[in-house]
Amino acid sequence: MAFRGVDYFAVDSLFSHEELMVRQTARRFADERILPVIRDCFRDGRFPKELVPEMADLGFLGANLEGYGCAGMSNVEYGLVMQELERVDSGIRSFVSVQGALVMYPIHTYGSDAQKEKWLPALAAGKAIGCFGLTEPGYGSNPAGMLTTARRDGDSWVLNGEKTWITNGGISDIAVVWARAEEGILGFLVEAGTPGYSTSDIHGKWSMRASVTSSLAFADCRVPDSARLPGARGLKGPLSCLTQARYGIGWGVIGAAMDCYEAARSYSVVRKQFDDRPIASHQLVQEKLAWMITEITKAQLLAMQAGRLKDRHKLEPAQVSMLKRNNVAIALDCARIARDLLGANGITDEYPIMRHLCNLESVKTYEGTDHIHALVIGEKVTGVAAYK
C-alpha cells in the first residue's frame, strides 16, 4: 500500500503546492524504485548504484544548488526529498547527502570556475560519484587534529595520510579530501586512479549495509595546484559542508521515524493478544504510539522552521545542531519502541524497523555525534566551549 504520510498537526498545510509536488515525486520514487530492492540490498551489503541515474534525472543530486544542471530546489523541497528517501533507507539518503552536500556544495562554494564546470554537471547527472574525506582513524569528533598532510612542491601538492569511514569512497570518481598544509587546512579534489591514492571498503557493518563505506589512503599522492579548492581555508571549509549535510539529515530521519511509527501503528490494530483484543487496545501500547506521533510532529515542525530560516539565509549552525541531534534521537527511539511493539516479528527483515534502527545508529554517530551537538548547543547558550 502506498505511503499516506504521517501528519497529526496539519503540517502539510504549511507546505506550498510546489513543495508537496516535490515530496510526491520523491515519495513515488522511493516506493516504486527503492522499496522493492532495499531489503535484498541490505541483506547482500549492496548499494543499488543502478538507481543513481534515475535520482539524477529527478534532480535529487545537489538538489538545492543553483546552476550547473542542479535543480535549484528550495531548502524545504530538498528536505522533503531527504525525508522520503530516508523513509525507505538511510543508506540511500546518505548517498544523496554526500553527493550533494559534501561534494557538490564545496565545489560550488569553494571551487574554481574550471572545477565547477568540470565536476558539477557530471555530479548532478550522476555520471560522476563523489565522496568526502574528513574523518581519520585517530580523529573523528575532533577533525582539527587531522594528520593527513599536503606539502607544496612546485606547482603541485603531495598528499600523505589516511581517511576512514568514508561514504561512497570505493565507488567515487572524485574525493574531496581535507589535509593539513603550512597554510592551514585545505581541500583537494583527488580523482580516482591518481597514483598514490587507493581505497578499501569496510565490511562487517550491521548498519548502512546498502551504502558503501571505505577507507582512503594517500601515499605521496601528487595532485596539481588546480585540484585545490581555492576558496577553502581552515576548518570552517569542511565544517560548512557538514552543516549542509546535517540539515538534510534533520529532515531525512523524520522519514525513518514515520516508517517505524506507521509499521507499529498498523501492526498494533491487527495483532491480537488477551481476549482477542488488538494490542492497540492496551493503554501501555497507546502511550508508546502517542509518544512517537508527538515526537514526530515536533520534529516536523523543527525541520520546517529550519527550512524556512535556511531559505532566508538565516539558519545558524548551532540551530542545525539542535535539528540533527533532536530528530536523530527521536527517530532512533521511535525505531526502538516500534521494534518492541512488533514483538518477535520486530526483529525480522519482513518489517523495515530493525533495518532503520541499525542505520540510525550510524546516523547518530556521523556528521557530529549526539554528544558533540549537545556541546555546540551548550556553547551557544552559555558562551562556554566544553569540547576539551
Sorted by sequence, the CB contacts under 8 Å of residue 383 that are 6+ apart come out as: none
How many other CB atoms sit within 10 Å of the CB of residue 28? 14
Nearer to ligand FAD, 81 or 103 (CB): 103
Nearer to ligand FAD, 42 or 261 (CB): 42
User: Is 256 an interacting residue with respect to ligand FAD (CB under 6 A)?
Assistant: no
- 55, 134, 227, 320: which one contacts ligand FAD (CB under 6 A)? 134
- 152, 369, 377, 378: which one contacts ligand FAD (CB under 6 A)? 369
- Provide the Cα torsion 191, 165, 329, 205; round to 10°: 120
Question: Per CB under 6 A, which of residues 152..191 are in contact with ligand FAD?
Answer: 165-167
CB 62, CB 332: distance < 8 Å: no
Nearer to ligand FAD, 167 or 300 (CB): 167
**Span near ligand FAD by CB under 6 A; candidates 21-29, 149-157, 261-269, 369-377:** 369-377
- 132, 188, 247, 267: which one contacts ligand FAD (CB under 6 A)? 132
Site mask, ligand FAD, residues 184-223, x = CB under 6 A?
Answer: ------------------------x----x----------
CB 321, CB 368: distance < 8 Å: yes
Nearer to ligand FAD, 92 or 372 (CB): 372
Q: What does the alpha-carbon distance between residue 352 and residue 360 come to, in Å, rounded to a whole number?
A: 12
- 367 counts as catalytic: yes
CB of residue 165 to ligand FAD, shortest distance in Å? 4
User: Is 98 an interacting residue with respect to ligand FAD (CB under 6 A)?
Assistant: yes
**Span near ligand FAD by CB under 6 A; candidates 144-152, 218-226, 284-292, 367-375:** 367-375
Nearer to ligand FAD, 8 or 387 (CB): 387
**Span near ligand FAD by CB under 6 A; candidates 145-153, 341-349, 364-372, 377-385:** 364-372
User: Is 365 an interacting residue with respect to ligand FAD (CB under 6 A)?
Assistant: yes
Place of cell 601515499: 219
Work out whether strand 174-181 and strand 184-191 pair parallel, antiparallel, or are unpaired: antiparallel
How many other CB atoms sit within 10 Å of the CB of residue 269? 13
Give the binding site for ligand FAD (CB under 6 A).
Answer: 98, 132-135, 140-141, 165-167, 208, 213, 362, 365-367, 369, 371-372, 387
Catalytic residue set: 367
